[in-house]
Each structure stands twice: as structure tokens, then as C-alpha cells.
């Protein structure tokens, strides 16, 4: 039987079904197809129950349900909750729905499991710096196992918004600026959460969010309007969502922003049109938190009923937190403002996924599972590996790093070095700060027993002259100063946009004074967004970008600083020199007057370099690598053909290490101008000293094509290929696409 059959076919089947007339209704037959069960159940529901299934309500922060949830569940009017979790709370609420409601439809429990549930992995932007989709998949899989063990069956992840403005605090939640890297990671995370069947124990349904364009918030201000061309939507913002659909994501969440004048939560062309009709998405769409109600403030809906009508008719199946579907839906239906077909289609989509998720058969969670599942040694080891792989070495003058573990005196400076909560990031689910290893602890673990480690907190908000003096005095006597700088966890994430990308507080002043001690300084940067690190780059010999690395933060950073691990991550996002360059990203167009330092009338600044501080794809290692022998064959192809790109990467140092080989294209001329470079392949490889490996990439229509006004096409003409260790420089070759 077809996985998703038409309603007409279902009615026919039901009429002929042998279960008909039997005591057990078809929808309760676990062996029947989910679509058939959903259709059978729909036929038994009242209008109120239907709208009730489209309602998602928020629980209490600690995981409990609210009193009203029990009543709604009993009445069959609670489709889903967010934040209700752990066996005592989830099972009690579930019992009302399953055993005490008329039809026994279970509640679907959701939560934001973004980069781990209890074992916390690096923030998604840091995870993206691994350039290792299999590792991201493994982290999502571990997170799913933990989430499942506390009764959850749905996570609001992955967040796949492309972001090119680091003022926007939510840049931390995504994969950075690039559509290709973002697409690979979107698919990997979906696979990790769901496995091959999200209905299986230990798996959860994923949710691609926020559909769509949320990352383009004007001025980087969260929730702000967006205005995005069709070309940018198709070529930049849509691809990670499409990749999530292709990886089997069953749910989407709409975004808060209005896009080209139409709020995402009522954007029919994108939900019913692009997502469902064009891409064939069969799952359901949930609004963001109260975003149905917000249609009124946007100025799209006149009142609550109008908001419900517009969102539901656009294809938003489930309403998160606001209650307009439930409250105004029945009357709007009776008045013909909501069509019966739209309502039924939404309810069917929700029910079908509930059947597929297996919660009719397994509505409860075993209270004993949590203790066996959370923070197991395997998961902690994975979190350590993930944190190690996310480290990006930005500068290492005179090979200051790695440090010798037998140094006599190490001064650790900066409050972030002794902070647990700040290691976890802004969406750390049920991660406990107490579980996190601080940098100070990690350093003490990593150095020899005779090394003396001092600590001084330094320079965050509220720091006094005395605090700074103390830190500088402690540092002056040390063999090396390790300065932990950057942002606290609450300076990025939702509703945490900044107009400045500078180090907050008096951290720069502290670094200036530390430099004056004449002792070598290593800066470790903890952050959820690109920061202005220009002064550091000019003055501090070694800089390690650590992001917010999660539960194993301190161990990972210290093992990297002291050489037990060799950093090999690469930036998934451009680091500007100053906020005035924003938005700045590698995949820009060339313009008719590309920047030329010697020519005034070219596209640049008169008061700053036009170049970023650190480009996309950039990152150093304690090893050195050489690229050679770029070959592209054949030399010409048809638009539907494929080219093989191969080259050698060699470790030319005496240390084993990782390099991320990157392949970029440039379509030299076409009916629409294209970016100066587009990432189209990468591979992270570990190479022993002297080891060389030939890497081969195949590029076909999916990689070479572009969404033009007339549709997706590979246009004839010359394509350049770049292969190297970042988005700048590298080997060059070219080939021709012939009509």
C-alpha cells in the first residue's frame, strides 16, 4: 500500500476492510497502515477534538504539565506539549489522554533538544566547525536517546537557518553562512535524531526550523522583518530545508519573521506551495511560539479568528502556545472561513505522524530508562570527541601551541575559565552546569603534577580596577598566560542580538595589560557568534576558537592547548574585522567593481580593509598540509554530466593531524551572476606524518546548477574549481559545460 494514500482510496479501503464492524476500531489496529488508521480516527472525531489535536501547549520549565492540561487531555483537546518531560510528569499527563479521553489519542511530547539533552555537545555553530557530518549525526543520535528516555518523542531541531549577520544572536543555533555546509549538516542531524525509523525506541522526530528566512533579520535584530529575493531564497535559504526533507524530516516549524511582507506563519506560497506542492513534504507544520497570534501584531490579521483562519489556510497544522485554533476554529469552520478540507488535512497529518511515531502503541516511558541512558560514559566520550573536533586554531605564532605540560607556572585568567554554565551554551536543554568541566579544571588535569596553576577572574561586566590589577599581577609571574575571553552563554541565542561584536566588558583592556607583562599569552575564545578579534590577531600570539563546547568543555580545550589533541576545525562562518563590514560572507557576488586596494572607485571601504579577519573555511593545525595535483576530468561535459575532481593532500609535518579539504566552484558567466565561490564538497581527513591521500569528488547537476528565474539549471560556460584548506587561495583548475 502506498505510504501516503489519497482520502478517496482510504474510504474505499475502509469500506472493504475486514476490521470494519469488529470490536477493535481500525485506528487501534497496530498492524494497519498509519494513513488508514488516521483516516479511521478522523471519522470518529468531533470538530472540537479535531481542533484540539492541532493545539500544542507549554508546560512548566522544570518539566511539569499545567493543571489545565489534564482537563484538556481528558477532553481530547491536547495534541502536543512542549517542555513537559520526565516519566512522572509525562506519564501522568499521558494517562489522562490515553485512558481517560473518549478516543484515547496520546499527547506528543516535544522539547528543544538542540545540541544535547543532558550530555551537552558543542553549540551547533561550534559543531559545524567540525566539518564532520557523521560526528554531528552521532551527537544527534545520542541526544535523541537521552531525550527519548525522559518521554520525549519530538525535538525542535535541527535549526537550519542560514545566518550571515553575527549581530543576530541565533547565529549560534545554526550551521553558519553556507547553504552547502548547512545542507549536509541538516541532513546529518535529521538522520541522527531519527535513525531509519523515528518510531523506534531511542529515536525522536526532528523538526526543520524556522521556515523561512529568519536568519536574514534586518540589522541582525531578532524577530525583525526580512526582505529576501527569490534567488537568495532558492539558492541560499531554502537548500538546508530541502536537504532536511530529503533526509526524511517529518515536521517543520514556521518562523517569527515576515518575509517580503507576508509573515512566515501565514505564508501560503511557502508552506502549501513550495514545501508541500513543490517538494512533496507529507509531514506537519507547527507554528513557532505564539506566532499564530502574532499575525495580529504583524498587521496581517484583524483579530484572533482572522489569525487562525490565515495560518490554518496557509498550511500551519499545529498552533504552538497561542490558542486561537481551539478557541475560534469551530465558529470559523461553521461560518465557512476555514474549509473542512483544510481542517481535516491538518488533523490527518498530525494523527498520521502520531501513528508513525509509535506513541499509540507505546504512550508511556519506562521510569527506569532515564538513569540508564543519561550521561553514560559512551556519551561523555562522544561529547569530548565532538568538542575536540570543534576547536578552531586561529593563530599560532612561533608555534607557541601546543604548550608543554611540564611548564612550571601557568596563569589562567578570565571568569569564563571558571564558569560551568557558560560552557553549555544558550539552548542546553536539561544540561546541568554542575556536569560541565571548566577550563581551569581541564588545565589542572592536563598539566604535570609539578606545574603550578593560578587563576584570576579578570574582566567581565562589573569588573573593578582591583580585579584587573589582581589578574595582571598573577599573570606577570607565569611562564604562560591562558586568557579565557568571549561571551557568557546568555549573550547569544534567542533575543540576544548585539550591535557590537567587541569582547564585552573590560576584556580587551585586560588583554592589553596582559600583553604588557611580556609573558606569552594564549587567548581561548568562548562565544556563540563571530566576534571582532582584530586586536587579538595583531597582538596575541596564539588564539584558539573554542565556541561553547558543552559538558566536556574544559577537558577538550586543555587537551588541545597541551597537545594531547591537534585542532582541525574550520570556521563555518566569516569573522569580520569590524561590525561595520556585516553582512560579510565568502559567497558574495563579484560586482562590476570588485575591491582593489589600488583603485579608488572599487567596492571597498575608505576606513577599513574590505577583507574579513578570518575567512569561511579557515583554521590552522599543529600539523602542516600541502595540496597538489588538482585534476578535473573530463575537460568538458554536457549540462547533465558530471566531472571528477581529484587532488592530493599531504601531511608535511611531524605530527598527525586533521585537514578539511574543501572544493569550491565558480560559474564564470551566466544569465544570473553567481557567487565568487560556492562550496560544493569537503572532507575531513586525519593524516599521519608524511602521509598523503588522493581525494576525489564528483560534481554533477546538483552541485553545478543554480536556481534561475526560469528554474534550476546548469548553464553552459566555463566553471572554475578551487581546492584547498579554506575559501581563500588553493589550487585552481577549470572545465567547460557545453550545450
Contact 518, 481 (CB under 8 A): no
Phi then psi for residue 394, to 5 deg, are -90, -30
Q: Minimal distance in Å, beta carbon 428 to ligand BGC?
A: 13
Helix (H, G, I), strand (E, B) or coil at 725: coil
User: Is 288 an annotated catalytic residue?
Assistant: yes
Q: Report the C-alpha gap between 137 and 143 in whole angstroms.
A: 10
Q: Which is nearer to ligand BGC, 90 or 416 (CB)?
A: 90
Q: Which is nearer to ligand BGC, 154 or 618 (CB)?
A: 154
Q: Which is nearer to ligand BGC, 42 or 82 (CB)?
A: 82
Find, among 529, 524, 565, 560, the residue nearest to 545 by Cα: 524
Phi then psi for residue 734, to 5 deg, are -155, 165
Q: Which is nearer to ligand BGC, 498 or 677 (CB)?
A: 498
Q: Which residue has the cell 506542492?
A: 277
Q: From residue 40 to residue 79, what is the string marking binding to ligand BGC with x (rule CB under 6 A)?
A: ----------------------------------------
Q: Which is nearer to ligand BGC, 288 or 487 (CB)?
A: 288
Find, among 25, 6, 32, 34, the residue nearest to 356 by Cα: 34
Q: From residue 204 to residue 243, what is the string marking binding to ligand BGC with x (rule CB under 6 A)?
A: -----x----------------------------------
What Å distances lie between residue 83 and 252, 321, 364, 430, CA to CA? 18, 11, 16, 10
Q: Minimal distance in Å, beta carbon 494 to ligand BGC?
A: 6
Q: Report the C-alpha gap between 736 and 739 in whole angstroms.
A: 10
Q: Minimal distance in Å, beta carbon 507 to ligand BGC?
A: 29
Q: Which value, to the nearest 10 degrees, does the dihedral of the CA atoms of residues 440, 503, 185, 174 take?
A: 120
Q: Which is nearer to ligand BGC, 319 or 441 (CB)?
A: 319
Q: Which residue has the cell 593524516?
A: 687
Residue closest to ligand BGC, measured at CB? 156
Q: Which of residues 551-580 bind ligand BGC (CB under 6 A)?
A: none
DSSP secondary-structure letter at 250?
A: -
Alpha-helical regions (H) of 264-401: 268, 294-298, 304-314, 324-334, 340-356, 369-373, 377-390
Find, among 138, 363, 353, the residue nearest to 249 by Cα: 353
What Å distances lie between residue 399 and 386, 403, 406, 551, 660, CA to CA? 24, 9, 17, 29, 20
Q: Report the C-alpha gap between 404 and 658 in whole angstroms.
A: 21
What are residue 660's DSSP bridge partners? 684
What are residue 522's DSSP bridge partners? 482, 542
Q: Minimal distance in Å, beta carbon 225 to ligand BGC?
A: 16
Q: Which is nearer to ligand BGC, 320 or 514 (CB)?
A: 320
Q: Minimal distance in Å, beta carbon 168 to ligand BGC?
A: 12
What Å distances lie between residue 606 and 4, 532, 603, 610, CA to CA? 59, 19, 10, 9
- Helix (H), strand (E), coil (C) string for 205-266: ECEEEEECCHHHCHHHCCCCCECCCHHHHHHHHCHHHHHHHHCCCCEEEECCCEECCEEHHH
Q: Report the C-alpha gap between 195 and 382 in whole angstroms.
A: 17
Q: Which of residues 686-715 bind ligand BGC (CB under 6 A)?
A: none
Q: From residue 281 to residue 300, what is the string marking binding to ligand BGC with x (rule CB under 6 A)?
A: -------xx-----------
Kindly state whether residue 82 participates in binding ligand BGC, applying the rule CB under 6 A: yes
DSSP 706-718: EEETTEEE--SEE
Q: Which of residues 95-124 bind ligand BGC (CB under 6 A)?
A: 112
Helix (H, G, I), strand (E, B) or coil at 57: strand
Q: Minimal distance in Å, beta carbon 56 to ligand BGC?
A: 9
Contact 207, 154 (CB under 8 A): yes
What Å distances lie between residue 299 and 210, 319, 329, CA to CA? 20, 19, 20
Q: Minimal distance in Å, beta carbon 255 to ligand BGC?
A: 8
Q: Which is nearer to ligand BGC, 111 or 664 (CB)?
A: 111
Q: Minimal distance in Å, beta carbon 112 to ligand BGC?
A: 5
Q: Which is nearer to ligand BGC, 252 or 289 (CB)?
A: 289
Q: Which of 494, 509, 648, 672 binds ligand BGC (CB under 6 A)?
A: 494
Q: Which helix (H) or strand (E) holds 285?
A: strand 284-286
Q: Minimal distance in Å, beta carbon 114 to ligand BGC?
A: 8
Q: Which is nearer to ligand BGC, 80 or 551 (CB)?
A: 80
Q: Which of 132, 165, 258, 288 is catalytic?
A: 288
Q: Which of 65, 109, 156, 526 binds ligand BGC (CB under 6 A)?
A: 156
Q: Minimal distance in Å, beta carbon 57 to ligand BGC?
A: 12
Q: Which residue has the cell 525509523?
A: 197
Q: Which residue has the cell 547537476?
A: 701
Q: Contacts with ligand BGC: how many residues (CB under 6 A)?
A: 7
Active site (catalytic) residues: 288
Binding site for ligand BGC (CB under 6 A): 82, 112, 156, 209, 288-289, 494
Amino acid at each position: 500500500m502506498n505510504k501516503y494514500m489519497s482520502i478517496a482510496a482510504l474510504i474505499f479501503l475502509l469500506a472493504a476492510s475486514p476490521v470494519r464492524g469488529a470490536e477493535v476500531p481500525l485506528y487501534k489496529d497496530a498492524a494497519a497502515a498509519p494513513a488508514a488508521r488516521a483516516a479511521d480516527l478522523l471519522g470518529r472525531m468531533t470538530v472540537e477534538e479535531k481542533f484540539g489535536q492541532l493545539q500544542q501547549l507549554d508546560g512548566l520549565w522544570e518539566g511539569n504539565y499545567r493543571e489545565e492540561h489534564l482537563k484538556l487531555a481528558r477532553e481530547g483537546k491536547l495534541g502536543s506539549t512542549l517542555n513537559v518531560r520526565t516519566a512522572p510528569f509525562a506519564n501522568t499527563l499521558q494517562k489522562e489522554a490515553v485512558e481517560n479521553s473518549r478516543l484515547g489519542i496520546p499527547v506528543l511530547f516535544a522539547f528543544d533538544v538542540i545540541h544535547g539533552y543532558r550530555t551537552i555537545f558543542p553549540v551547533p555553530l561550534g559543531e559545524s566547525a567540525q566539518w564532520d557530518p557523521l560526528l554531528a549525526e552521532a551527537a544527534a543520535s545520542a541526544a535523541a536517546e537521552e531525550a527519548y528516555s525522559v518521554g520525549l518523542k519530538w525535538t525542535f531541531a535541527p535549526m537550519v537557518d542560514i545566518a550571515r549577520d553575527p549581530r543576530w544572536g541565533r547565529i549560534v543555533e545554526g550551521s553558519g553562512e553556507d547553504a552547502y555546509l548547512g545542507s549536509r549538516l541538516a541532513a546529518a542531524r535529521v538522520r541522527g535524531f531519527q535513525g531509519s525509523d523515528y518510531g523506534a525506541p531511542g529515536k525522536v522526530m526532528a523538526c526543520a526550523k524556522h521556515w523561512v528566512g529568519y536568519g536574514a533579520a534586518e540589522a541582525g535584530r531578532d524577530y525583525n522583518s526580512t526582505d529576501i529575493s527569490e534567488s537568495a531564497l532558492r539558492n541560499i535559504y531554502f537548500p538546508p530545508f530541502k536537504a532536511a526533507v530529503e533526509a526524511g524530516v517529518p515536521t517543520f516549524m514556521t518562523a517569527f519573521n515576515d518575509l517580503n511582507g507576508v509573515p512566515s506563519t501565514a505564508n501560503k506560497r511557502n508552506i502549501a506551495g513550495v514545501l508541500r506542492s513543490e517538494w512533496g513534504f507529507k509531514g506537519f507544520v507547527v507554528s513557532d511560539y505564539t506566532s499564530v497570534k502574532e499575525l495580529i501584531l504583524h498587521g496581517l490579521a484583524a483579530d484572533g479568528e482572522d489569525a487562525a483562519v490565515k495560518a490554518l489556510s496557509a498550511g500551519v497544522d499545529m498552533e504552538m502556545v497561542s490558542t486561537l485554533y481551539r478557541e475560534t476554529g469551530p465558529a470559523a469552520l461553521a461560518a465557512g472561513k476555514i474549509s473542512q478540507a483544510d481542517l481535516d488535512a491538518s488533523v490527518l497529518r498530525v494523527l498520521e505522524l502520531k501513528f508513525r511515531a509509535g506513541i499509540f502503541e507505546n504512550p508511556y516511558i519506562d521510569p527506569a530508562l532515564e538513569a540508564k541512558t543519561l550521561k553514560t560514559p559512551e556519551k561523555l566520550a562522544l561529547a569530548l570527541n565532538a568538542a575536540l573536533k570543534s576547536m578552531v586554531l586561529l593563530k599560532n605564532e612561533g608555534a607557541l601551541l601546543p604548550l608543554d605540560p611540564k611548564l612550571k607556572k601557568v596563569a589562567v585568567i578570565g571568569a569564563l575559565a571558571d564558569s560551568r554554565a557558560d560552557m553549555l551554551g544558550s539552548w542546553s536543554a536539561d544540561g546541568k552546569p554542575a556536569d560541565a568541566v571548566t577550563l581551569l579544571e581541564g588545565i589542572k588535569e592536563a598539566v604535570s603534577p609539578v606545574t603550578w596553576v593560578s587563576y584570576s577572574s579578570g574582566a567581565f561586566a562589573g569588573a573593578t580596577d582591583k580585579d584587573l590589577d589582581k589578574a595582571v599581577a598573577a599573570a606577570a609571574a607565569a611562564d604562560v598566560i591562558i586568557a579565557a575571553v568571549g561571551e557568557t552563554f546568555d549573550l547569544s541565542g534567542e533575543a540576544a542580538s548585539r550591535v557590537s561584536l567587541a569582547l564585552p566588558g573590560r576584556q580587551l583592556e585586560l588583554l592589553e595589560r596582559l600583553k604588557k607583562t611580556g609573558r606569552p599569552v594564549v587567548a581561548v575564545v568562548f562565544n556563540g557568534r563571530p566576534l571582532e578579534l582584530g586586536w587579538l590577531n595583531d597582538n596575541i600570539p596564539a588564539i584558539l576558537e573554542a565556541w561553547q563546547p558543552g559538558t566536556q568543555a574544559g577537558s577538550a580545550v586543555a587537551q588541545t592547548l597541551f597537545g594531547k589533541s591537534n585542532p582541525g576545525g574550520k570556521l563555518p562562518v566569516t569573522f569580520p574585522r569590524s561590525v561595520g563590514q556585516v553582512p560579510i560572507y565568502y559567497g558574495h557576488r563579484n560586482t562590476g567593481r570588485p575591491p582593489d586596494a589600488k583603485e579608488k572607485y572599487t567596492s571597498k571601504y575608505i576606513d577599513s580593509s574590505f577583507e574579513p579577519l578570518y575567512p569561511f573555511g579557515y583554521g590552522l593545525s599543529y600539523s602542516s598540509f600541502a595540496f597538489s595535483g588538482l585534476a578535473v576530468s573530463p575537460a568538458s561535459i554536457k549540462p547533465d554530466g558530471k566531472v571528477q575532481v581529484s587532488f592530493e593532500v599531504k601531511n608535511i609535518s611531524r605530527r598527525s593531524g586533521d585537514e578539511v579539504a574543501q572544493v569550491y566552484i565558480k560559474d564564470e558567466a551566466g544569465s544570473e551572476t553567481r557567487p565568487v565561490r560556492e562550496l560544493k564538497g569537503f572532507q575531513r581527513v586525519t593524516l599521519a606524518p608524511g602521509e598523503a591521500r588522493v581525494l576525489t569528488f564528483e560534481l554533477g547537476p546538483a552541485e553545478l546548477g543554480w536556481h534561475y528565474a526560469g528554474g534550476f539549471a546548469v548553464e553552459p560556460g566555463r566553471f572554475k574549481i578551487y581546492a584547498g584548506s579554506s575559501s581563500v587561495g588553493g589550487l585552481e583548475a577549470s572545465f567547460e559545460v557545453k550545450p
